[in-house]
Structure 1
Amino acid sequence: MSLIDFPSVHQLAQRYPREPGRLRHHLAAEPLLGYAALAEAARALPRQQVERRVHDAADAAAFRIIENDAHPADAIAAGGAASAWVMLRYIEQLPEYRALLERLLAELAPMIGPATGPALDIKGFAFISAPGTRTPFHFDAEYNILFQIAGDKVFAAYPSAPPFLDLAQREAYHRAGENMLEWRAEYAAAGNKHLLAPGDALFVPHAAPHWVRAGDAPSISLSVTWQSRKSRAVADALSLNQLLRRIGLPAYDPSASSGAPWLRAAASRAGQRIGLV
């Protein structure tokens, strides 16, 4: 049996990779994505890759990690934490989850390959969210599909361009991993909002800012992310900007150029090898 509804892949191909787009899937009954299996996965992963955060944070500053002695796996096994957001990071380290991600991407390959080439650097994240969980405004420098497994969520996506995302914020991500963004009240009406129920999935373009809000029931979501040759080149080119400014040359801005910065990326990699970048 396929994991993804084929007609919805064809429909998403009309939007990929530049616009958010929906899919339908058949993962809601997948045993690996139930509470018992996710609790086992949480225990199998390195402890630092199982995060528990404040579930009702109003902004990035409040979205802090909750530190206590209890392992998040205990709350997951009991049906999810009543008042926390839990993330299992890099579940592709576990062979059974790696196989699941590879099956998903194999079914998506006819859409992904012609537009952006093979999926590279595949990663998986499972989110177990208490009712009402709010994930603050942020961005991820990767292609992403969020599969809703249990409960529902509102997912609001924004263009990866000013005023929502500027060059300084992109550079900060590639320099230090900082991906949280300042929220402004006027953004509320601008987002492309999607209500996701079990069986729904949403493709999120590379570096598209977004916020997420869970509904009134506990939520489980699976996020599958990947890179392309172009997105790798963009990351390398952004890393070169600081050096270019020092020597009086123009910086690279992805929002001002749709082409891949192959030459800048090659110069960046050369600079990294000799310690200039």
Structure 2
Amino acid sequence: MIPSVDALLTVDPAVYKTAFNNTPVSFKHYLHQLPMFQPDALAELAKKYGERPADYYVSNSAPTPGTRFFDVKAKTLKPHEALAQLATGPMRVLLKRPENYHAGFRELLHKLFEKVVELRGGLNGEKIVRLESAIFVSAASSTTPFHFDPEINHFFQIEGGKHYHVYRPSAVREVELEDFYVEGKIEIGQVDLATRDKSLEHIFDLVPGSGFHQPQDAPHWVQTGAERSVSYAFVYETDASRARGRIFAANHYLRKLGVNPQQPGTNPGTDKAKSSVMKVVVPVRRRIVRNLDRGR
């Protein structure tokens, strides 16, 4: 039985509502005290993932924060094997959607999400199109390279330390967002670290019991401390956040035509028209690219 969310999460409602999906904001939590996050319980959970490769990812550490995300080699280890070998060198393990493997994680996810909706002042007519969580287990001195994610994130440090460098979403240039969303991707936006505006960077030195809210498209890189790190995060997308991506995709094509397009949110009527058109165009483009890749 998961305690009430008010006993698990502490955040200033006014600060959160002002910062929501715009500026990274810290909070306190007590998730690290839950039995299902203890080492033996996590080891048992990892065993359940062995035959479901789509639900986990094991990789080496990135050599530098600026390394391109997909240049970091994946490892063929299964999650429980990787957890047993973390002491042998820098390595990262991602367990996706633990709520599908353990009822406690499903209850936790929904309780935390309900609290976040309350804190942000309701969904205001938006519909949830994706809600899921993940567990990150990393060896000491492991680096996750710089990238952004097209989803709204809440991140909780469970075990060990983690230095989390996250920028405000405005650190990603419009044309970079347009090039990403026109591909119809739903994860891992690759941008370079060297040219980011350092004034937009927030550094969270996370320890068990600390966490923060990461806005959609906020680029970040992560370094673990001198011991194993365990983190938990849940992410979600709404029809509105997905529509925002389609508006950037439409702006990609407008820019190619020599037009200087309006940012999402400038004109609701124009935004709706762009989103409706790209709801058809992006999936078709994705299928064409996929077929061309097969042909090659």
TM above 0.5, yes or no, is: yes
Alignment of 1:37-186 (within 5 A): 37-45=41-49, 46-58=52-64, 59-61=66-68, 64-68=72-76, 70-76=77-83, 82-96=89-103, 97-114=105-122, 117=126, 119-161=128-170, 164-174=171-181, 175=183, 177=185, 179-184=189-194
**Cα shift readout 1:202-248 (whole Å, capped 9, x = no counterpart):** 10111111111111111000111111332111112223334445666
Match of 1:27 among 6, 31, 37: 31
**Cα shift readout 1:69-117 (whole Å, capped 9, x = no counterpart):** x423123257777420111123343352232211211222211343765
Percent identity for Structure 1 against Structure 2: 22
What TM-score, normalized by structure 1, do the two folds share?
A: 0.83
User: Is the partner of 2:140 in helix, strand or coil?
Assistant: coil
Contact 2:179–2:249 under 8 Å retained in 1 = no
**Cα shift readout 1:98-139 (whole Å, capped 9, x = no counterpart):** 322112112222113437656541121211011111111111
Q: Partners in 2 of 1:30 and 1:129 — Cα distance?
A: 19
Q: Partners in 2 of 1:149 and 1:276 — Cα distance?
A: 41
User: Is the partner of 1:137 in helix, strand or coil?
Assistant: strand
Contact 2:158–2:207 under 8 Å retained in 1 = yes
Cα RMSD, aligned residues only: 3.1
Contact 2:147–2:219 under 8 Å retained in 1 = yes
User: Is the partner of 1:239 in helix, strand or coil?
Assistant: helix
Q: Does 1:193 align with 2:200?
A: no
Partner amino acid for 1:51?
Y
Number of residue pairs aligned between Structure 1 and Structure 2: 272
Alignment of 1:235-274 (within 5 A): 235-245=245-255, 249-251=259-261, 253-254=263-264, 257=266, 261-271=271-281
The more displaced of 240-249 and 135-144 is 240-249
Contact 1:36–1:77 under 8 Å retained in 2 = no
What TM-score, normalized by structure 2, do the two folds share?
A: 0.78
Contact 2:22–2:168 under 8 Å retained in 1 = no
Partner amino acid for 1:135?
T
Deviation at 1:48, TM superposition (A): 3.4
Against the structure 1 CA distance between its residues 6 and 226, is the aligned structure 2 distance closer, same or farther, given a 3 Å change threshold? same
Against the structure 1 CA distance between its residues 6 and 258, is the aligned structure 2 distance closer, same or farther, given a 3 Å change threshold? farther
**Cα shift readout 1:175-223 (whole Å, capped 9, x = no counterpart):** 1645122121775565111111111111011111111111111100011
Q: Partners in 2 of 1:258 and 1:90 — Cα distance?
A: 36
Against the structure 1 CA distance between its residues 242 and 108, is the aligned structure 2 distance closer, same or farther, given a 3 Å change threshold? closer
Contact 1:132–1:214 under 8 Å retained in 2 = yes
Contact 2:68–2:145 under 8 Å retained in 1 = no
For structure 2, the 5+ residue unaligned runs are 287-296
Against the structure 1 CA distance between its residues 276 and 208, is the aligned structure 2 distance closer, same or farther, given a 3 Å change threshold? closer
Question: What's the counterpart of residue 16 of structure 1?
Answer: 20
